Structure 1
Amino acid sequence: MRLLLVGGSGVVGTMVIPYLKEGNALRVLDLVPPRDTSVEFIEGSVNDPAAVGAALEGMEGVVYLALGRRADGSRAIDDLDSCYDLSVKGLHRVLLAMSEAGLRRAVYASTVSVHGTRPTDRPLTEDMPADAASLYGFTKWLGELVCSYFARVHGMAIAALRLHNPLPRDQWLRACRPGQPNLSVAAPDAARAIVLGLTVPFSGFHALLISGDYEGRSLCCSRAKQVLGWRPLERPSETPATNSGKETKR
């Protein structure tokens, strides 16, 4: 599949590109080139219609990963202009350009931070309020509303993945504790969710929790299994669970 990774040079893009490269042709639209120099790169902003149009040419699906960065490379998750420009306005521009180009499949990298309050007596689910307590989580939720609008009005199929602190696999393994599922999602599992979000047949808009909590103690990922056939496969033992559905190679 020919995939455009919008903002693919950032933290999440960098960790999933090695897995997405397996069986897919990747192109990155970003202000800086991706770390993997073998990936096609188009320099440009999500708020530049010409750059977005050029980046979409020949693509079959889009993964929206754009997030502002400061001069030191850290994420600008508390910058008002950056959060709105990328998670709301820029996302709208990209989805509009997709619609005009006849493209219908997109994955939006959202965050579990759209939920500001987590229950203590039961696992978090997508049906619980999106009551973000941070600018980052709030604007990511606004981005989900943009996705829902395009799915409803323009007939697009969009999965918003509410990622829980995605980590490279080696860091994920180091963060594991005996007898406790790691709530963070490992890069291979995140990449597999992205691929399934672009390839599994579904209609409309779906917001899906994506976590490494394979026991569902704190975050319930059953909706991702229902819609995409996805569940976290990584385990602290470094041996992935058996998967009956499609997964990316490693």
Structure 2
Amino acid sequence: MRILIIGGSGYVGTLMLPGLATEHEIRVLDLVPPQGDHEHVAGSATDPAALAAALEGMDAVVHGAMGRRSESHWPHPDVASAFEVNVASVYATLEAAHAAGVRRAVLIGSLSVFDEGQLIERQVDEETAPDAADVYGVTKRLAEQVGRIAAEAHGMTVTVLRLAFPTPDDVWPRWALPVVDEPIEIRRADGSLVPALAGSDLSAAVSAALSRDDGGYDVFHIVGADDSGRGWSTAKARDALGWVARRRYQG
């Protein structure tokens, strides 16, 4: 499959590319070149001309771009950039994909659509109503609505993958948060580890989502796995996409 990765040079895009490139023909739309030998279209996902050029000849598009951090409130998201990238560029991408005849799209979402205050202690699934009120969570909630609207209006297959703590395989189960110097361990109040999502498992989830053939809009939780019985449920992804995390933490 010929896939356009929006934001393929960013943190999440860089995690996805190696695995996806083993199965698919990859093109990247980003302002800067991606790591590795991948076809690159320089430009912004809010630029209609850049989107049209990048989508030409593609079978599917994966939107994984992220807004920049605030200079005045580091490391929190910049408000204008968050709305521009997480909402406006998703809308522009899906409209351009429709115009180009590209009917499959995967949106890289986040479990941050839920209030992060006690998220690691909560048992949320895809039926739980999102309730985040911070700028990042709100923009990711809005991006999901944009995806649903595009699926309904254009007959596209739009799949949202809600991630938590994506990280390179070589530091898993820790999370290599881009704004800190060393990978960190995420732990619940009782001290048990919440494993991050390995990049290879993320790539496999994106490939599985790209093969979804039942049409319309849907959302799946794609997170790290452990044997504690307390993790966020990925049963829907297992049943509908055939995806399970291959890296499983045994604490």
Is the TM-score greater than 0.5? Answer: yes
* Matched residue, 2:126: 126
* Matched residue, 1:217: 230
**1:203 aligned to which of 197, 203, 215:** 215
Paired residues of 2:28 and 2:34 also in contact (CA < 8 A): yes
Instruction: Note the residue ranges of structure 2 that are not aligned, 5 or more in a row.
Output: 175-184
* Matched residue, 2:162: 162
Paired residues of 1:113 and 1:137 also in contact (CA < 8 A): yes
- TM-aligned CA deviation for residue 134 of structure 1: 1.9
Q: Given the superposition, is the C-alpha separation of residues 89 and 122 from structure 1 closer, same or farther in structure 2, using an over 3 Å criterion?
A: closer
Please report the TM-score for the alignment, with normalisation by the length of structure 1.
0.85
**Does the alignment pair 1:4 with 2:16?**
no
- TM-aligned CA deviation for residue 158 of structure 1: 1.1
Q: Deviations over 1:34-83 (max 9, x none)?
A: 122x10111001111000000001111111001123599xx975211111
Paired residues of 2:70 and 2:78 also in contact (CA < 8 A): no
Separation (CA, whole Å) in 1 of partners of 2:16 and 2:95: 25
Kindly provide the amino acid, as one letter, of the partner of residue 95 in structure 1.
L
Kindly provide the amino acid, as one letter, of the partner of residue 32 in structure 1.
V
40-49 or 132-141: which moved more? 132-141
Kindly provide the amino acid, as one letter, of the partner of residue 232 in structure 1.
A
* Matched residue, 1:98: 97
Separation (CA, whole Å) in 1 of partners of 2:33 and 2:122: 42
- TM-aligned CA deviation for residue 235 of structure 1: 2.5
Separation (CA, whole Å) in 2 of partners of 1:42 and 1:132: 34
* Matched residue, 1:137: 137
Number of aligned positions between the proteins: 233
SS at 1:159 equivalent: strand
Instruction: Note the residue ranges of structure 1 that are not aligned, 5 or more in a row.
Output: 238-250
Separation (CA, whole Å) in 2 of partners of 1:121 and 1:28: 36
- TM-aligned CA deviation for residue 205 of structure 1: 0.9
227-236 or 184-193: which moved more? 227-236
Q: Given the superposition, is the C-alpha separation of residues 181 and 234 from structure 1 closer, same or farther in structure 2, using an over 3 Å criterion?
A: farther
* Matched residue, 1:247: none
Separation (CA, whole Å) in 2 of partners of 1:135 and 1:166: 20
- TM-aligned CA deviation for residue 23 of structure 1: 2.1
* Matched residue, 1:80: 79
**Mapping 1:156-195, distance limit 5 Å:** 156-173=156-173, 175=185, 182-195=194-207
Separation (CA, whole Å) in 2 of partners of 1:120 and 1:235: 17
SS at 1:160 equivalent: strand
Please report the TM-score for the alignment, with normalisation by the length of structure 2.
0.85
Paired residues of 1:214 and 1:232 also in contact (CA < 8 A): no
7-16 or 179-188: which moved more? 179-188
Separation (CA, whole Å) in 1 of partners of 2:120 and 2:68: 33
**Mapping 1:14-53, distance limit 5 Å:** 14-36=14-36, 38-53=37-52
- TM-aligned CA deviation for residue 233 of structure 1: 1.2
- TM-aligned CA deviation for residue 160 of structure 1: 0.5
* Matched residue, 2:239: 226
Kindly provide the amino acid, as one letter, of the partner of residue 161 in structure 2.
L
Q: Given the superposition, is the C-alpha separation of residues 188 and 182 from structure 1 closer, same or farther in structure 2, using an over 3 Å criterion?
A: farther
SS at 2:232 equivalent: coil
Separation (CA, whole Å) in 1 of partners of 2:158 and 2:82: 20
SS at 1:32 equivalent: coil
